[in-house]
Amino acid sequence: MIEAVQLTKRYGQTLAVDNLSFTVQPGRVTGFLGPNGAGKSTTMRMILGLDNPTAGSVRIDGRTYRELDRPLRTVGALMDAKWLHPNRSAYSHLLWLARSNRLPARRVNEVLDLVGLTAVAKRRAGGFSLGMSQRLGIAAALLGDPGVLLFDEPVNGLDPEGIVWIRRFMQSLAAEGRTVLVSSHLLSEMALTAEDLVVIGRGRLISQGSAAEFIERSSTSTVFVRSPQLAKLEAALVDKGFPVVTEGEGLQVSGARTEVIGDVAAAIGAVVHELSPQRGSLEQAFMRLTEDSVEYHTGLGDAVVPEGK
Amino acid sequence: MALLDVERIKLFSTRAPWWCMVLAAALTVGFTVLLVANAGTTFPLAVSTTQFAYNFGLMVVMVMAALAITTEYRFGTIKSTFQAVPNRTAVLVSKTVVVALLAGVVGEIIAFACWGVARLMKPDADLAIRTASDWRNVAGVGPVYFGGAILALGVGMLIRQTAGAVSIILVWSLLAESLVGLVPTIGVKIQAWLPFNVAGHFVNGDEPATGGVQGRGAGIDFAMSPWVSLLYFMGVAVALLVIGIVVVNKRDA
Ligand SMILES: Nc1ncnc2c1ncn2[C@@H]1O[C@H](COP(=O)(O)OP(=O)(O)OP(=O)(O)O)[C@@H](O)[C@H]1O
Ligand SMILES: [Mg+2]
C-alpha cells in the first residue's frame, strides 16, 4: 500500500505538488491521472525517495522509501525507459541492479525471459527501440519481485500491440495481489486499465475513488428520445424539471436516466420510438474537470472537440 | 561489498574507462619516449626524467573519474542507482573506492612502463631506482592519480555536467595553478599551497628541475616535505569529495 500525506513539492517558484494526500490499495491497478505538468512524475519521484518533499510524506507499507532495506524487493518502478547507459548491454544493466540488492544473477535471466528480451540481452541498450527499452524497464522493475509497482506513462509512444501487452501485464500484476500505480494523462487509457483512480491537476487532488464511478460521475449523460408525440413529451419532461433540447426529430434530455423518461412517457400515454443514453467523450469530461488546473492552456477552449458519442 | 561490485560492473560495462586508460598510457609513455630519445649531454637522463610526463596521464585519469559520475547524471542512471540503493553516501563512497583504486593502479603501471621504456631505450644511462627519492619519483605517481581521481569525482558530484566538470578540472590543474605564479610577489607563495603543484612536489621532491627541463613546481619554494605534500593533496581531494557527497545527499537526484 502507498500512502501520501499532505505531500508538497516546490521547485523555486513552481508549486509542482500541493498538499496531496491519497492511498493506493493492493490487488488492483490504480490510475494516476492528470494533465501534462500536473505533478505525476514529481509525486512518483518523491515516492521513490529521489526528490525530497518540501512538506508532507509518503510511505510504502508504513515506511518511507529511504527506510527500506534492499528496496527493489519492495518497490519496482519504471519511471523513464531511457534511464540507462546506451553503451551498456541489457544484461549488464540488470546485473548491476540485481547485485545492488543482493539478488541472484539467475533473476536477471528470469526477468529477461518474462519480458521477452533474452535474445537481445547482450546487445547495447542504446540501440533498443522504445518498446524494447520499455520492456527492459519493466524487467528492471520486476527484478526484486516487489509487491509495489510504479509505472510512469508506460504506454507513451508505444504501438497498439505494445499498449495491449503492457495493459495486460499490469492487470496480471495486480491480480497477483500487488499494488500497481500507473500514471497517464489519458482518461480513455485509464478507463481500460485501472480500477481505481487518483486524479490530480496542478499538483492538487481532484478526486480519488473507483474509476467506474469517476467516469460515471464526470461524463454528463444525456438521453436521446424520439416520439410521434414529441411536443407533449417535451412539456411533460420540462414539467418534471429536466433540461430538454430539440435535436433533429427528437429531444436530448439531460440529467435523467432512460427508465425515468420511459415512465414519464408511459404516464402521458406517449409512444416512444427511440430511447438511447448518450455519453460525452471521456476526454471531454476529463478536460472539464481539470479545466481550472491545466497548466498550459491552448487558448482553443472547448471549441475544438465536436459533441460526440 | 555488494556496492563495490555494483560500481565495478558499471565502470567496466561501458567503453569510456577502457579508452581513457589506453589514452592515458599512450600519451604518457609516448611523451616519455620523445623525451628520452632527445636526452643527451645537455640533458642527462635521471629517474625523475622518466616521470616527467605523468601529468598527461593524470589529466586523462581525472577525466575518466569525472565521467564515472557525470555520465550517470547525463543518462539518468544515477536515479536508478539511488532507487536501488537509497543510501547515497554508501553509493558514492563505493564508486570513489573503485574508480580511485583503478586510477592508482593505472598510475603505477604507467609510471613503471615509462621507466622501463627509458631503460630499454638508454641501457647505458643510470636509471636504477636506489634512493627513497627515486622510489617516490616512480611509485609516487600511483598515489597522485589516486588522489586526482578522488578530486575529480568530487568536482563531478558538484557540477554534474560532463563538459563543465571536465573544463574545471583541466583549467584548474593545467592553467590556473601555473598562471597564479604571474601575480607579483605573492603569486609564487600561493602556488606553494595549490594542490596540483603540491602533488608535483611530492613526486619530484626538492629537485623539480630535471636536467634541462623545467619540471612542474620549478621556482616554487614549497613549505611542506614531500610526504606531507601527499597528505595535503589527499586532504584537498577528500575535502572536495565530502562536499560533493553532502551536496548530492541534499539535492534531488
Ligand atoms: N526538477 C524540476 N525542477 C523544476 N521544476 C520542475 C522539476 N520537475 C518538475 N518541475 C515542474 O513541476 C511541475 C510538475 O511536473 P511533473 O513532471 O511532475 O508533471 P507530470 O504530471 O509528470 O507531467 P507530464 O504528463 O508532462 O509528464 C511542472 O510545472 C514542471 O515544470
Ligand atoms: Mg511526467
| Per-residue pLDDT tens digits for B41-94 | 777 788 888 998 999 999 999 999 999 999 999 999 999 999 999 999 999 999
Please indicate, yes or no, whether residues A157 and A260 belong to a single structural domain of this protein.
no
CA A46 to chain centre: 18
Q: How far is the C-alpha of B30 from the C-alpha of B54, rounded, in Å?
A: 11
- State the CB neighbour count (10 A cutoff) for residue A66: 13
If asked whether residues A131 and A141 sit together in one domain, one would say yes
Average pLDDT value for residue range A129-154: 94
Domain count for chain B, please give it: 1
Per-residue model confidence (pLDDT) at position A305? 39
Give contacts of A93 with chain B, Cβ < 8 Å: 13
A88 vs B71: CB contact, 8 Å cut-off? no
Asked whether residue A168 is domain-assigned, the answer is yes
Do A64 and A172 reside in the same domain of the chain? Answer: yes
Q: What is the number of structural domains in chain A?
A: 2
Tell me, what's the pLDDT at B49? 87
The secondary element (H helix, E strand) that includes residue A251 is: strand A250-254
Range in A227-241, B4-18, B171-185, B202-216 the model is least confident about: B202-216
Q: Per-residue pLDDT for A309 more than 60?
A: no
The model's pLDDT over A168-183, given as tens digits with 9 standing for 90+, comes to 999 999 999 999 999 9
Query: Do A89 and A213 sit in the same domain of this protein?
Result: yes
Structural domain contains residue A245: yes
Over residues A253-286, the pLDDT tens digits come to: 887 788 888 999 999 999 999 998 876 666 776 7
Binned at pLDDT 50, 70 and 90, residue B188 comes out as confident
Q: Is residue A36 lining ligand 1, measured as CB closer than 6 Å?
A: yes
Taking only the tens place, the pLDDT of each residue in A83-140 is 999 999 999 999 999 999 999 999 999 999 999 999 999 999 999 999 999 999 999 9
Is there a single domain that holds both residue A121 and residue A228? no
> Among A7, A8, A14, A293, which residue has the most ligand 1 atoms within 8 Å of its CB, making it the best to mutate?
A14
pLDDT of amino acid A93: 96
- Å between A82 CA and nearest CA of chain B: 7
A68 and chain B: CB distance < 8 Å anywhere? yes
Q: Grid coordinates in use for A217?
A: 460521475
Distances (CA, A) of A171 to A72, A86, B253: 20, 30, 30
Among A241-245, B129-133, B165-169, the range with the most confident prediction by mean pLDDT is: B165-169
A196 with A228, same domain: the answer is no
Residue A91 pLDDT: 96
Q: How far apart (Å, rounded) are the C-alpha atoms in residues A74 and B32?
A: 55
Average pLDDT over residues B185-212: 81
Q: Which residue's CA is the closest to the ligand 1 atom numbered 3?
A: A11
Task: Give me the DSSP letters along B15-44.
Answer: SHHHHHHHHHHHHHHHHHHHHHHT--SSS-
Which among A66, A83, A84, A143 is the top mutation candidate for probing chain B, defined by the most B β-carbons within 10 Å of its own β-carbon?
A83
Q: Do A95 and B71 touch (CB under 8 A)?
A: no
Provide the 8-state DSSP code for A306: P
Given this model, what pLDDT does residue B211 score? 46
Task: State the Cα–Cα distance between residues B98 and B89, nearest whole angstrom.
Answer: 14
Instruction: Please name the residues in contact with B174: beta carbons below 8 A apart, sequence gap of 6 or more.
Output: B55, B59
Nearest CA to ligand 1 atom 9: A42
Residue A177, domain member (yes or no): yes
* Confidence at residue A286, expressed as pLDDT on a 0 to 100 scale: 75
**8 A C-beta contact, residue B9 and residue A92:** yes
Domain boundary among A217, A245, A270: A217
pLDDT at A308: 39
- Asked if residue A292 is part of any domain, the answer here is no
Computed over every residue of chain A, the mean pLDDT equals: 89
What is the band of B178 on the pLDDT scale with cuts at 50, 70, 90?
A: confident
Q: Whose CA is nearest to atom 28 of ligand 1?
A: A37
Same domain, A44 and A191: yes
Find the domain containing A247 and state its range.
219-278
B-interface mutation test, from A85, A107, A138, most B Cβ less than 10 A away: A85
Whether the predicted pLDDT of B207 surpasses 70: no
Mark whether A83 and A212 lie in a shared domain. Answer: yes
| Contact yes or no for A45 and B5 at CB 8 A | no
Alpha carbons A240 and A255: distance in angstroms, whole number: 11
Q: Are A30 and A170 in the same domain? A: yes
Which residue spans within chain B are E strands per DSSP? 209-210, 213-214
Structural domain including B78 reads: 2-250
The domain spanning residue A111 has which CATH number?
A: 3.40.50.300
pLDDT recorded at residue A247: 84
Is residue A197 within 8 Å of A214, Cβ to Cβ?
Answer: yes
Q: Report the range of poorest mean pLDDT among A290-299, B10-19, B173-182.
A: A290-299
The answer as to whether A163 is a domain residue is yes
Verify that A223 and A188 share a domain, yes or no: no
Same domain membership, residue A253 and residue A195: no
Q: Could you tell me the CATH number of the domain that includes residue A234? A: 3.30.70.980
pLDDT band for position B212 (cuts 50, 70, 90) = very low
Q: Could you tell me which chain A residue has the CA closest to the CA of B68? A: A85
Question: Does pLDDT of A299 surpass 50?
Answer: no
CA distance A282 to A186: 9
Q: Do A101 and B75 make contact, defined as CB atoms within 8 angstroms?
A: no
Q: List all residues of chain A from 199 to 258 with a beta carbon under 8 Å from chain B.
A: none
pLDDT of residue B115: 95
Alpha-carbon distance of B223 to B225, in angstroms, equals: 7
> What is the predicted ipTM?
0.86
Measured in Å, residue A44 CA sits from the centre of ligand 2 at 9
Say what the pLDDT of residue B46 is.
87
Instruction: Compare CB distances from B85 to A87, A92, A100 and report the shortest one's residue.
Output: A100
pLDDT of B40 > 60? The answer is yes
Residue A131 domain-assigned (yes or no): yes
Pick the atom of ligand 1 nearest to A44's CA.
18
Taking only the tens place, the pLDDT of each residue in A208-221 is: 999 888 877 776 67
> Do A178 and A36 have their domain in common?
yes
Question: Angle CA(A209)–CA(A212)–CA(A218) in degrees, nearest 5?
Answer: 85
The nearest CA of chain B is from the CA of A248 a distance in Å of 57
Say which range, A40-49, A69-78, A156-165, B216-225, has the weakest mean pLDDT: B216-225
The more confidently predicted of residues A143 and A240 is A143
Residue A95 in domain: yes
